[in-house]
Amino acid sequence: MSHDSYPMRVMDAAEHGLTLPAAPLRYGSGGKVPARRDGLAKVTGAALYAADRQAEALLHAAFATAPVARGRVVALDTQAALAHPGVVQVYTPANRPPLAQHPDEKRHPFNFRHEALQDDTIRYAGQPIAMVLAETPEAAAEGARLLAPEIAAEPPRVDHDAGTPWQPEMVGFFAPAQAEVGDVARGLAEAEQVVEVEIETPDQFHNAMEPHAILARWEGPEKLLLDTPNQGPVMIAGLVAGYLGLPEGAVEIRTPFIGGGFGSKLMIYGAMILTALAARDLGRPVKTVLSRAQMYGPVGHRAGTRQRLRLGIGSGGRLTALDHEVTALASSFEDFVEPSGHASQHLYAVPNLAMRHSARRVDRGTPVAMRAPGEASGSAALEVAMDVAAEAAGLDPLAFRLSNYAETDPATGRPFSSKALRECYAAGAEAFGWAGRPAARMGRDAEGRLIGWGMGTSQYMCTMYRGEARVKVHADGTASAAIAGVDMGQGAWTILAQCAAEGLSMDPERLRLTSGSSVLPDGAVAGGSGHTATAGMAASEAGRNAVEQLISLATADPASPLFGAGNSGVVARDGRLSRADDPSRGESYSEVLARAGLAEVEGQGVGERVQAHREGYAMFSHGAVFAEVAIDPELAQMRVTRMVGAFACGRILNPRMVQSQLEGGLIWGLSFALHEEAQYDPATGRILNADLAGYHVPAHADIPQLTTLTVAEEDPYVNALGVKGVGEVGITGSAGAIANAIRHATGFTPTRFPIRIEDVLAHL
């Protein structure tokens, strides 16, 4: 069965149309690092993203959006839209087909309230207020324009000071808003010096290259196929089914290629539900592709914060207290609060430690997770405060961090499952040449630019969910793995195949991976840097389980050279089983299957953390980032000229993918430090720079020479693979390192991100 009316190139259309051939390319000195399985399909254009997909009798959808941030839609000219050639239907809150579950209802922490045209209230600018269906995308867009909404606008509350104070109990997804260890007031009172840093961070948008897109087609009254990029396809398929009143398993989400998610594709959002609903109502497949501007508001962002850090410094440059206070912007209709305070809770040895979050509800779209949610903005502020404190203590920034090195988790007192941060500091400092850093300003280079060196510590938690996988060994000596793993560019397809092959003790080139669909075993969400640990462990365990079955078959078979060897006496290697006591006696997997008359054996595997380890240890990836800046006051130019990051992330499964992830993290840090900011018009509440011209992200010319290193780290507790996360740790520490390099060059302590050249020049 094929769902598609388009020709399949490169990809194998067999089961779900999502299987890629094993990549034959290899690189690296050991010749053992598999290249991306999706690489060829992507560079040749054969990889189909959701918006690329076609269907017979397809209708196209476009949204009309709110031009102001607060008020009410009084009227829409649906007659004008419907009169436009090609327009088939217009949905507004007045005629939108009913849903089985109200979109305001929250039955799951990942189930945010999003607009599914449930009422005419405007809660933020850019909010979808009507949906137009037409024969072409152009007709749909024109129909949406013709709706010319009449709005009863109210003054928007978009900034911190205009927001309504709100005290959440939880921040992020499941974390407490407040915590205190020891007595911070006493710790500050006992300090020899107290430094205080206040920093504001802006709203930032994920800006994935691929826009959110949905193609919905009904293959029966209880069978819905959604092609849409998503970081948690099994979970989201279940939520969509709930809205549409469908039984479990009725919705399939296919998400083979994701052109960047970063958290914005972690959730369900209104367009998904409405596209499915429209397709059912009109009896035709419907495709919705959000415009770039429509990705600013309805699909989440990183919330702006105001943060205040107070650090008490005692004798020998030891911290006596750390107080991290965060006020984050929240929407008026959802409860997600940026958990910035968490960045300071597990990193430095402090006897008196506190974090406090509060929020201001404003008329902006709801924030969600964005790459290192909380840690990215919290770390940027914390690392600046640490440099201010180091200066007050008269210590080099690295020496100050080392004098406050946490041997156990300061927030919980637990030992770390592993922590090679000292090695990161040493390796990063060595590669950067940090030992030559003068304590005073560095002065100017030959071109008259002010030079500065700064550093920051990286830390990100090791998340694990519960994931499942299925792995088969076939009679022809090949293998296959099936898992709803999510490859959003990080390399999951390649690494999950490696993990399955490792469990099988086989060459990954002999293994096909089928992935990217919600009907496959649930590999859990790709988020929180926990996907490889979770899905990879499941794949590896499934492979091991298949091999155990082969061993049982062989050792029970009198015709096998392994007969009677017992499970513990058999070694699996490179697709073969042999006796532990005599490696010359053995046979291949296919020989075992052939004699047993079996076409295949199927192994099942689960990836999850051992409960006792979860409770007993603090688990984090770590790193140290070093940056150099050059500031030209005459040209009003500020550049990062080089960055070095050294990371400890447990076992490195694929150095090629890891390097790419860590470099991406450093670039996100640079972007945080110098570029990104959504600007809101206080009069209308609209985002003034809702496009890639006005919203700055670094271009190639902004990215200097990047060096990423990994240090050896063995972790027996984090999971069976010894794998920590690499997706988010690189953004932490790096924005702070750049801010601190600017401090070193100029003496200017930033009070807001992104750091603006005009703020720096005003200080000089």
Q: Please select the residue that binds ligand MOS; options are 280, 371, 576, 743, rule is CB under 6 A.
A: 371
Q: How far apart are CA 438 and CA 428, in angstroms?
A: 17
| Sole window of 104-112, 257-265, 441-449, 453-461 interacting with ligand MOS (rule: CB under 6 A) | 257-265
By DSSP bridging, strand 26-27 and strand 33-34 are antiparallel
Query: If binding is defined by CB under 6 A, does position 373 make contact with ligand MOS?
Result: yes
Q: How far apart are CA 398 and CA 390, in angstroms?
A: 9
Non-local (6+) Cβ contacts of 10 within 8 A are 20, 21, 40, 41, 44, 46, 47
Closest separation between CB of residue 465 and ligand MOS, Å? 11
Give DSSP secondary structure letters for 208-265. Answer: -SSPPEEEEEEEETTEEEEE---S-HHHHHHHHHHHHT--TT-EEEE-S--S--TTTT
Q: Please select the residue that binds ligand MOS; options are 103, 521, 528, 603, rule is CB under 6 A.
A: 528
Query: If binding is defined by CB under 6 A, does position 724 make contact with ligand MOS?
Result: no
Closest separation between CB of residue 262 and ligand MOS, Å? 6
Chain centre to alpha carbon of residue 153: 36
Sheet of strand 251-254: strand arrangement: 87-91, 128-134, 59-65, 286-289, 213-220, 223-227, 251-254
Q: How far apart are CA 759 and CA 355, in angstroms?
A: 28
How big is the chain, counted in residues? 764
**Residue 300's closest CA among 488, 120, 110?**
110
Q: Please select the residue that binds ligand MOS; options are 428, 527, 665, 685, rule is CB under 6 A.
A: 527
Q: Please select the residue that binds ligand MOS; options are 263, 536, 623, 704, rule is CB under 6 A.
A: 263
DSSP state for residue 390 in the 8-state scheme = H
Query: If binding is defined by CB under 6 A, does position 731 make contact with ligand MOS?
Result: no
Query: If binding is defined by CB under 6 A, does position 231 make contact with ligand MOS?
Result: yes
Q: Please select the residue that binds ligand MOS; options are 262, 620, 626, 668, rule is CB under 6 A.
A: 262
Query: If binding is defined by CB under 6 A, does position 498 make contact with ligand MOS?
Result: no
Closest separation between CB of residue 232 and ligand MOS, Å? 9
Q: How far apart are CA 113 and CA 268, in angstroms?
A: 9
Q: Please select the residue that binds ligand MOS; options are 369, 565, 572, 720, rule is CB under 6 A.
A: 369
CA distances 366 to 267, 306, 328, 409, Å, are: 12, 17, 12, 32
Q: Which is nearer to ligand MOS, 226 or 369 (CB)?
A: 369
CA distances 501 to 22, 480, 649, Å, are: 11, 9, 21
Q: Which is nearer to ligand MOS, 229 or 242 (CB)?
A: 229
Closest separation between CB of residue 266 and ligand MOS, Å? 5
**Residue 574's closest CA among 501, 513, 512?**
501
| Sole window of 220-228, 261-269, 315-323, 667-675 interacting with ligand MOS (rule: CB under 6 A) | 261-269
Number of shown-chain residues binding ligand MOS (CB under 6 A): 11
Q: Which is nearer to ligand MOS, 214 or 370 (CB)?
A: 370
Q: Which is nearer to ligand MOS, 262 or 748 (CB)?
A: 262
**Residue with the closest Cβ to ligand MOS?**
263
Q: Which is nearer to ligand MOS, 326 or 506 (CB)?
A: 326
| Sole window of 149-157, 207-215, 216-224, 262-270 interacting with ligand MOS (rule: CB under 6 A) | 262-270
Query: If binding is defined by CB under 6 A, does position 261 make contact with ligand MOS?
Result: yes
Please check whether residue 136 is in contact with residue 60, taking contact to mean a CB–CB distance below 8 angstroms: yes
Closest separation between CB of residue 382 and ligand MOS, Å? 19
Closest separation between CB of residue 261 and ligand MOS, Å? 6
Q: Please select the residue that binds ligand MOS; options are 11, 64, 370, 662, rule is CB under 6 A.
A: 370
Q: How far apart are CA 420 and CA 652, in angstroms?
A: 14
Q: Which is nearer to ligand MOS, 91 or 110 (CB)?
A: 110
Closest separation between CB of residue 695 and ligand MOS, Å? 18
Query: If binding is defined by CB under 6 A, does position 205 make contact with ligand MOS?
Result: no
**Residue 502's closest CA among 520, 524, 479?**
479
Which amino acid is residue 443, in one-letter code?
Answer: G
Which amino acid is residue 240, in one-letter code?
Answer: V
Q: Which is nearer to ligand MOS, 76 or 266 (CB)?
A: 266
| Sole window of 107-115, 187-195, 306-314, 369-377 interacting with ligand MOS (rule: CB under 6 A) | 369-377
Residues 321-340 close enough to bind ligand MOS by CB under 6 A: none
Query: If binding is defined by CB under 6 A, does position 266 make contact with ligand MOS?
Result: yes
Q: How far apart are CA 77 and CA 144, in angstroms?
A: 10
Burial track 350-376 (b if 16+ CB lie within 10 A, e otherwise): bbbbbbbbbbbbbbbbbbbbbbbbbbb
Q: Which is nearer to ligand MOS, 103 or 263 (CB)?
A: 263
| Sole window of 174-182, 260-268, 615-623, 676-684 interacting with ligand MOS (rule: CB under 6 A) | 260-268
Closest separation between CB of residue 16 and ligand MOS, Å? 23
Query: If binding is defined by CB under 6 A, does position 303 make contact with ligand MOS?
Result: no
Closest separation between CB of residue 126 and ligand MOS, Å? 21
> How many CB atoms are closer than 10 A to CB 14?
14
- Which sign, positive or negative, has the C-alpha torsion 360, 363, 366, 372? negative
Q: Which is nearer to ligand MOS, 371 or 544 (CB)?
A: 371
Q: How far apart are CA 490 and CA 660, in angstroms?
A: 8
Residues that bind ligand MOS (CB under 6 A): 231, 261-263, 266, 369-371, 373, 527-528
